[in-house]
Amino acid sequence: MGLQQKSVILNPVGCSIWASIYFDFDSVQVPHGRTPAGATAVKRMLPDHLVICYQGDGDLAAIGTAEAVHAANRGEKFTTIFVNNAIYGMTGGQMAPTTLVGQKATTAPYGRDPVEAGMGYPIRVLEMLATLGGTKYLARGAVNNAANTRKTKQYIKKAFEAQMRGEGSTMVEILSQCPTNWAMDPVESVGWVESDMIPFYKLGVVKDELAGSNEESKEAAK
Nearest-angstrom CA–CA distance, 152 and 170: 14
Rounded to whole angstroms, the Cα distance separating 23 from 37 reads 21
- Residues in contact with other proteins, total (CB under 8 A)? 32
What number of other Cβ atoms are within 10 A of residue 33's Cβ? 22
3-state helix, strand, coil split of the chain in percent (to 5) is 40, 20, 40
Does the CA dihedral 165-170-176-182 come out positive or negative? positive
**Max intra-chain CA distance, the chain:** 52
Contact stretch for other proteins (CB under 8 A) within 24-32, 101-109, 163-171, 192-200: 24-32
Dihedral of the alpha carbons of 34, 39, 41, 45, in degrees to the nearest 10: 160
Angle at 149 between CA 132 and CA 166, to 5 degrees: 35
Task: Tell me the window of 5-13, 79-87, 127-135, 173-181 that interacts with other proteins (CB under 8 A).
Answer: 5-13
- Part of the chain binding other proteins (CB under 8 A), chosen from 35-43, 126-134, 143-151, 213-221: 35-43
The answer to whether 148 contacts other proteins (rule: CB under 8 A) is no
CA distance 163 to 137: 10
Contact with other proteins (CB under 8 A): which of 49, 77, 112, 158? 49
Instruction: Give the one residue of 16, 40, 85, 152 binding other proteins; rule: CB under 8 A.
Output: 40
| CA geometry: angle 193, 170, 7, nearest 5 deg | 100
Q: Does 20 bind other proteins (CB under 8 A)?
A: yes
6 binds other proteins (CB under 8 A): yes
Measured from the CB atom, the residue of 34 and 124 that comes closer to other proteins is 34
- By the rule CB under 8 A, 28 interacts with other proteins: yes
Q: Which stretch binds other proteins (CB under 8 A): 61-69, 132-140, 143-151, 185-193?
A: 61-69
Considering only 15, 39, 123, 193, the residue that binds other proteins (CB under 8 A) is: 39
Residue 31 found at the interface with other proteins (CB under 8 A): yes
Stretch that binds other proteins, among 40-48, 95-103, 135-143, 151-159 (CB under 8 A): 40-48
Query: What SS3 state is found at 142?
Result: strand
Residues near other proteins (CB under 8 A)? 4-6, 8, 10-11, 17, 20, 24-31, 34, 37-42, 44-46, 49, 66-67, 69-70, 74
